[in-house]
Structure 1
Amino acid sequence: MRPTAPDPADTDAWNAYLAEGNARQARKRVAADVLLRDPSGRVLLVNPTYKPGWDLPGGMAEANEPPDATVRRELMEELGVRVTLLGLLVVDWVAPHGPWDDQLAFIFDGGMLNQHQADQLQPQDDELSEAAFVTTTEATGRLQDRMQCRFDHALKALGEGQPLYLRDGVPAL
């Protein structure tokens, strides 16, 4: 039988009860990326130095960091650019694989950079070797399978104006 929760009016006991539950519950890794376009409709991809293949700009959330803040921070750190996010395109629950536990992967719509911003874009730290605007067809040859699937669904969500929930890259709802 489960112990009864303390009375929420007893703040110290209630907080201790919640802290115990928080310590026992699963924690999820969170990745947050952004779909950015240039005036000709090409999409921005980055080439990370720490893994094979190209990727969308973004990265892993820090402790207690919201996914949208993750994207903004990563774009500033890695590319020196600020964007206004226009909405959510994809949430993908990624099953455990290899040494990794499961994770939640977000893709946000970063809109379109003006031509000057697009021309000036270049890696700002050693996590990226390159940044390039490419056509969606060119992206297919550069992205790894897992990211390619998520990318394709982000483009679909962008076109339909409706975010998608995926389970391992497959629409779940």
Structure 2
Amino acid sequence: MTDNSDDRPLYERDPVGWRAYLAEGNARQARKRVGADVLIRDERGRVLLVNPRYKPDWDLPGGMVEANERPDLAAERELHEELGIRLRAGRLLVVDWVAPHGPWDDSLMFVFDGGVLREEEKTALRLADGELLAYHLTPLDEAEPLLRPYVWRRLGNAVAAAALETCRYLVDGELLPTDT
């Protein structure tokens, strides 16, 4: 008697079928918007904020991640496109899940440490692509009224994570009770 069954997994038995199965799953799974911002400070502890042309409040410098782009590289690209500077996105400080709001689905926002601007980097800042109306180094205690509440909370958590040399997971800018 011969056993014709093949108990090998699909990826071994039918590699082409397996890839088609994965592609079908990929096409049906949810996609999330992803943004990547950078916490940039100066020697006095002020934070760099930008005033985008397309929304009513200020924000951290950065922007949306393009398809198949790494978030850290997206942040670096956005800094160059919008402010004309080449700055490395350093350590990850925050991942913030933003709940659906208005016409937007949920999103993931990454905040990377951009370090402290040197004087020559400050003088190199410029409005480069027309997407921003202004930028400003702002004392932290003056930033709150400029930002949406969840962006203000995200900024505060990014500053704290930088000081503590840690990374924080947030929900709408709020640190979850189990995190420190």
Which residue pairs with 1:24 in the alignment?
28
User: Which of 60, 66, 80 pairs up with 1:56?
Assistant: 60
Question: Quick check: 2:73–2:89 contact (8 Å CA) kept in 1?
Answer: no
Which residue pairs with 1:41 in the alignment?
45
Matches within 5 A, 1:1-173: 6-172=10-176, 173=179
Q: Which has the larger radius of gyration?
A: 2
Secondary structure, counterpart of 2:56 in structure 1: coil
Gaps of 5+ in 2: 1-8
State TM-score, norm by structure 1: 0.93
Q: What is the RMSD of the two structures over their aligned residues, measured on CA atoms?
A: 1.5
Question: Quick check: 2:85–2:124 contact (8 Å CA) kept in 1?
Answer: no
Q: How many residues align?
A: 170
Higher mean displacement: 12-21 or 33-42: 33-42
Question: Quick check: 2:96–2:110 contact (8 Å CA) kept in 1?
Answer: yes
Q: What percentage of residue pairs aligned between the two structures are identical?
A: 54
List, as ranges, runs of 4+ consecutive aligned residues in structure 1 with deviation greater than 3 Å. none
Separation of aligned partners in 2, 1:52 and 1:10 = 53
Question: Quick check: 2:84–2:124 contact (8 Å CA) kept in 1?
Answer: no
**Closer, same or farther in 2 for the Cα pair 1:76/1:14, shift >3 Å?**
same
State TM-score, norm by structure 2: 0.89
